[in-house]
Amino acid sequence: MPFETSVSERVAELVFNHPPVNAFSGRMWMELPDIITGLGRRPDVRCLLIRAEGRGFCAGVDIKELAEDAGAIVEVNKGNFLTYKAIHDCEVPVVSAPHGFVLGGGIGVCGASDAVIAADDTYFGLPEIDRGAMGGASHMQRMFPHAMVRAAFLTGGRIEAADAYRVGGVAQVVERAQHIDAARAFAAVIASKSRDALRIAKQALNGIEPFDVDKNYRWEQGFTFEMYMHEDSQSARDAFVESGQAASFDDEKTS
């Protein structure tokens, strides 16, 4: 099972557990919205904590699936959009507790959350430009400043946990050994509040955000479809599957 759930003392936990890197197929992404929405609607739940087992939090989508069938992007895009929207619209606050790598779709999960408690080995990145795709900047920009997002997006680079904390993108950075306990303690503080107050507060906070993250992400996804129609997109996916490296476009002709 790639997703494990439990409820204890008014905190629901959703655990990503899909070795080796928590990269999900389109079908898996399509499972997540109902899981998240269902947990948020439970009257005995006041906070949802999302964490992961394994080497890192989430490597996003399964590139091998997309390399074999570019048409799978339709289900992947839909699953991504609905998952992030389910987190953003969840009746109760959502806390993400990432460790290790947070890539692609992992950015969407953290960026849609209400708070992020990161392990000190966490780093955030959008390698889409090297994978023949687009998307994710809307949710990254919900966490980090505009210039930092553009630098990471255009280079395929990463933002370390210490820098994420410095700019206010995460609420806490915790030593890896204490990470899960710290995330649970943070979620427990939220869960000690009135459920109705939390539900109303989240609606109010969503309503005063400076931009519509769901609408902006939908805009981005249109460019993902455009990119997938370009031959360079397939070349990028094939290179990653074959070598784990970015494709070279040094000899690309310019008009």
Q: Is-contact 1 17, C-beta < 8 A?
A: yes
What value does the mean pLDDT take over residues 161-165? Answer: 98
At 14-54, the pLDDT tens digits run: 999 999 999 999 999 999 999 999 999 999 999 999 999 99
Confidence of residue 65 (pLDDT cuts 50, 70, 90): confident
* Most confident among 60-74, 197-211, 215-229 (mean pLDDT): 197-211
Residue that has been written with the tokens 């050994």 in this structure:
177
Contacts of 45 (CB under 8 A, 6+ apart): 7, 10, 11, 12, 39, 92
Confidence of residue 237 (pLDDT cuts 50, 70, 90): low
Q: Is-contact 174 182, C-beta < 8 A?
A: yes
- Between 3.30.70.1140, 3.40.47.10, 3.30.70.20, 3.90.226.10, what CATH number should domain 3-176+195-207 receive? 3.90.226.10
At 215-226, the pLDDT tens digits run: 999 888 887 767
Residues in the chain: 255
User: What is the pLDDT, as a whole number, of residue 221?
Assistant: 81
